[in-house]
Amino acid sequence: MSPTLVSAPSGAEEFTEVVVVRHGETSGNTSRILQILQQGQLDPELNEIGRQQALVVAHRLSKEAKPAAIYSSDLKRAAETAKIIAKVCGVTNLELNEALREMHMGYLQGLKWDDAVKKYPDVFRAFDISKIAESRNQEIPGGGESPNQLNERCVSYLNKIAQEHTGERVVVVSHSAAIQELCRHTYPPNSSIHRNIPNTSLNVFRVSGVTGRWILERCGDVIHLDGNGIRENSFVGDGASV
């Protein structure tokens, strides 16, 4: 089956349909290590539930329009999710790229919430402040990123993908904070709206590679996990997991 072309929502403008999937569950999710204050760009693998989740979302995607390509963060938890999706959907065009990685959390990576507060109170404070709209340029000490830096690298890469796949559907596998920034890009400036991004959730964007216009059509969709017993530990990406 060849990739299905996607019609523009209105008018003559052509869009790329970008289906962004959060990776499956890891052991860090189940142990409640602060994953946005925790794994960040550390590189754990999927656990068994995560692999089951990836297989379920892959089968869901296989019943929809075939993607022209799959793009993924090169971190193991995302890359493995992407490879499962690619295999089930029969897609050979799979590209791993560090531009889709999770936010770099500096000294806070690998720490639980309480440990982060105790061990690096000033760093934790900087992270907390950076969530305020006016302080989005605040970098996390220890080589970490600011929210604006995360936003720039993820949005720029998706714009590039959209330019290469006008009128097609693509699947992108990434991480909680990264996906939240993609969602935020569709909001008005300084918006404080927060989206829940569960493991293997579908987040669907229409992106124009010509005008740069973004439309968020769906966010946090995990209907494929309902009723199969693999959703219990699928944390929602609210600052407690990535």
Q: Extract the annotated binding site.
A: 22-29, 77
Residue 155 Ramachandran class (φ > 0 left, ψ -120 to 50 alpha, else beta): alpha
Q: Is there a catalytic annotation at residue 185? A: no
Distance of CA 163 to the CA centre of its chain: 20
CA proximity to 8, closest of 220, 218, 219, 213: 213
Q: Cβ–Cβ contacts within 10 Å for residue 181, how many?
A: 21
The two tokens of residue 65 are 């329009």
Task: Please give the C-alpha separations between residue 60 and each of 49, 173, 178, 195, 229, in angstroms, as whole numbers.
Answer: 17, 15, 23, 22, 16
**What is the C-alpha R_g of the chain?**
17
Q: Which residues touch 27 (CB under 8 Å, ≥6 apart)?
A: 44, 47
Candidates 14, 17, 23, 104; catalytic one: 23
Candidates 14, 102, 145, 168; catalytic one: 102
Alpha-carbon span 99 to 138, nearest angstrom: 20
Distance of CA 111 to the CA centre of its chain: 21
Annotated binding site for substrate: 22-29, 77
Task: Supply the residues annotated as catalytic.
Answer: 23, 102
